[in-house]
Amino acid sequence: MKKILEENERASKVTRGIVLGIIAVFVLSYLAMACFYSNHFSCNLYANNLHLTGMGIEEANRYLLANEENSYTLVIAENGSEVGKLKDKDIRSEYDYTNELKRLKAQESALVWFPYLTYERRVSIRPELRFSREHAEDSIRSLEPVTKLPDEQDNSVRIRKSPSEGYELVGPEDTQPDKDTLVGIILDTMQDGDTYLDLAKVDYNAETKYSEEQKKTLELFRKIDQCQNTRITFQDKGQEMTIDKETIAGFFSKDDEGGFITDSEGRPKLDMDRVKECAEEISGQFTTEGTKVYWKKFKGGTVSVNAGAFGRTVDTEALTGHIADLLRHGWNYTGPPDYLPKEKTDAKVPTEIGDTYIEVDMTEQKLYYIKHGRLFMESDVVTGCHNRKNDTPEGMNYIYFMQRNRTLVGPDYRTPVKYWMAFINHVGLHDANWRGSFGGEIYKSNGSHGCVNLPVDFAGQLYENVHVGMPVITYY
Mean pLDDT value across residues 340-362: 78
What per-residue string of b and e applies to 167-179 under the rule 16 or more CB within 10 Å gives b? bbbebeeeebbbb
Residue 103 has pLDDT above 70, yes or no: yes
**Mean pLDDT across the stretch 316-321?**
96
DSSP label at residue 43: T
Q: Could you give the CA distance from residue 356 to residue 388 in angstroms, rounded to a whole number?
A: 33
Q: What is the DSSP letter of 339?
A: B
Residues 65-80: what's their mean pLDDT? 88
Q: Is the pLDDT of residue 332 over 90?
A: yes
Give percent of the chain above pLDDT 70: 95
Most confident stretch, 1-10, 36-45, 319-328, 346-355: 319-328
In this predicted structure, what is the pLDDT of residue 347?
Answer: 47
**Predicted local distance difference test score (pLDDT) of residue 345:** 47
Q: What are the φ and ψ backbone dihedral angles of 333, each rounded to 5 degrees?
A: -150, 135
Are the CB atoms for 105 and 227 separated by under 8 Å? no
Model pTM greater than 0.85? no
Give the model's confidence band at 359: pLDDT under 50 very low, under 70 low, under 90 confident, else very high: very high
Average pLDDT over residues 169-178: 88
**439-463 pLDDT per residue, tens:** 999 999 999 999 999 999 999 999 9
pLDDT at 133: 83
In the beta sheet, which residues pair with residue 236?
A: 239
DSSP 338: P
Instruction: Give strand pairing partners of 452.
Output: 429
- Of 3.40.50.620, 1.10.10.10, 3.10.20.800, 3.40.50.10860, which CATH number belongs to 228-291+310-335? 3.10.20.800
Task: Return the closest-CA partner of residue 456 out of 475, 438, 468.
Answer: 438
Helix (H, G, I), strand (E, B) or coil at 200: helix
Domain 357-475 adopts which CATH fold?
A: L,D-transpeptidase catalytic domain-like (2.40.440)
Residues near 15 by beta carbon (within 8 Å), at least 6 away in sequence:
none
Whether 318 has a pLDDT exceeding 90, the answer reads yes
Residue 425, phi then psi, degrees to nearest 5: 50, -120
- pLDDT surpassing 80 at residue 334: yes
Among 377, 368, 457, 470, CA closest to 421: 470
pLDDT at position 17 over 80: no
C-alpha dihedral, 289 to 294 to 297 to 303, nearest 10°: 110
Q: In whole angstroms, what is the distance from residue 232 CA to residue 246 CA?
A: 13
Percent pLDDT > 90 in the chain is 64
